[in-house]
Structure 1
Amino acid sequence: MEAEAAGAAAGTYPVDVLEDDPEGQQAAALAYYARLRQGAQPTTEAFSLPTGEQVKLAASSVRFCPLHRDEPQHRLLVLLNPQDTKTVVAVYIKGSWWSTEDVLRTSDPAREGLVKVQSFGERIVLFILNVIIFGRLERKLDDDDMFFLPHSAKEQAKILWRDGAAVGFYTTKMKGSLCGDGTGACYLLPVFDTVFVRRRHRRQGLGVAMLQDFCETFGEEEALGISWPVSPAMYQVCRKFLCARPEERGRLWEVEPPGAWGQRGSIWLKVQLRQPRLLNSRPGLAKEDVSSHGRNSRDEGAAEPPDGESSKELISGDEPGRTKDDGARGVQEVRGAELDGQDAERTAVAVGLAGGSWPKRVRPSS
């Protein structure tokens, strides 16, 4: 028996029909998992991968993943690839298994371009893009066992929709919001925090378009930040944007939290200082027309969220059926950035997909 998401065949997807009821979703997933453990589900039930391979639906092949790092009680039931037990292939939503690609799709024509994340379904899409697609499938990892932390439950984010699919996102730290757990310091300016574009949609100006949207969203602010450290790919995005929009050169700063003047560096100045290295590393770059609108830029790479190099934590897998107290074992405290002469502590809840523990870099400013 093959398990499929009937809605996908009918042209509807979770983000279009899922109610804003995380507790109901959690209860349904727990009930389904209980049936798996008790053997109440058909033993021949399987999920079909795009490769044609069948993944047997059994208690041993699923895990619960925290949807938000600050609300571990809200979890998604996911199906793992039997050949790579750290890779998610499907998510249990509304009584059906949905492939990760179908979870990222929409049948609503109004979802086009950058759309603010508001609904529970959109939070799930953000999680899939951030933790599963970026965190595992489309990221160059020095350590093959590293994952990216889920966002917080109230993370300010926009998803980039294109031709019926979510292809990227960016998140923002709002002016006045707390810099992190365990600190009373607040951001002194809006900050462009993380940004991601799926691999097959890169080099099409989408990173530049998201940076432009961020600047236009906060058009009344005198200063805007980009989270430190800025990656080489993000510097290229900034260069293209600031060459096309010179009026923004005085507003963009690379910032460490909370963003006081002593914690800011001019993005435009740093772009200028890095220019010789960019030209030497990419010989054709000097001839590129960078004065055009960001959406027409041909050489833009994905601006991936940079990771802090010093802070590390262990990520513990959360197997279904554990009690709430058991899940607390996966929480590790990590040292944060130094704010106002004091070290800020950050507690991050993250997910492992194979029931083990792995090292994970985290940005100290989040």
Structure 2
Amino acid sequence: MKYKLMLSLFVAMTCFSSLSYADRIKDLANIQGVRSNQLVGYGLVVGLPGTGEKTRYTEQTFKTMLKNFGINLPDSVRPKVKNVAVVAVHAEMPPFIKPGQNIDVTVSSVGEAKSLRGGALLQTFLKGVDGNVYAIAQGSLVVSGFSAQGLDGSKVIQNTPTVGRIPSGAIVERSVVSPFATGDHLTFNLRRADFSTAKRTADAINNLLGPGMAHAIDGSSIQVSAPRDASDRVSFLATLENIQVEPADESAKVIVNSRTGTIVVGKNVKLLPAAVTHGGLTVTIAEATQVSQPNPLAGGQTAVTTDSTIDVDKSDNRMFKFDPGTSLDELVRAVNLVGAAPSDVLAILEALKMAGALHGELIVI
């Protein structure tokens, strides 16, 4: 039943994919230069209820923090820091964000801390790939996971207690210069490269703005002439990003997940003339335990014996034939008739590919 449901889903996907549809350019492409930037920092979470860590680098980081406030501890002194944890802090700066605005941060333990629940992050510098500080993070953590441990060593952990978030926990101190308002052109980069989709996008823009305003550079980029004034460019893009474009069909592909047994077949997959036979041999071994009780006058001993029953079930071999240009619908219907399991379907598809009868790319993930 489960497999038949999956096959029915294949057929439904084929029917829906055969319908024409259009997407907005903002759903198909990104604007070159308009991107987010990753930030990372290293800091301390304090105030933990004994779930922190006591390691050398935690002590070193703690002493460095105290030194910044003018408190110098001798090297021989090892502070007790069970309520402190060393953490990595990371965030993402969206495009066009300005100094003074806030962004969310994620805090993750990098040591042996058991939980960050109840802790607070101290002021942490968040740096970009160029080494400059772009934001400063601080605040109380929101941790959804928890852990509990008994004296006998038993432990209960739900979700991940060593990772937390601070909503709006970082203040942006420096903005990233964007090339958005420079030059005479804007470039749309398709999220899925396709020559046909690139040409259709350029044609749709030219139909609205006039000939020669846009041209496809390659299979993923479309260059558009744009006004230089920043305000005019915003209005210009607000119009372009809502243009409807019908994306081209994907190439014929069969995607197989070898771990879960999930098989997805694209609508353009075709089969050349081929015949497939499917059959199997099932061997079932059942063990039954019996007690052998001897005659009281025979002087024997009671014994336990095992009675094995072996049942061999050979299913009927079934063969189905594919005509030239067989569609996905016909393929699914034929495989469904023989009652093949997902692993058997994978074997059939691989055999068809080796025989040169599968018109499409077979991808195993």
In which range does the TM-score fall when normalised by the shorter chain?
Answer: under 0.3
| TM-score (norm: length of structure 2) | 0.19
Q: TM-score, normalised by structure 1?
A: 0.19
Name the structure with the higher strand share: 2
Higher Rg: 2
Larger helix proportion of the pair = 1
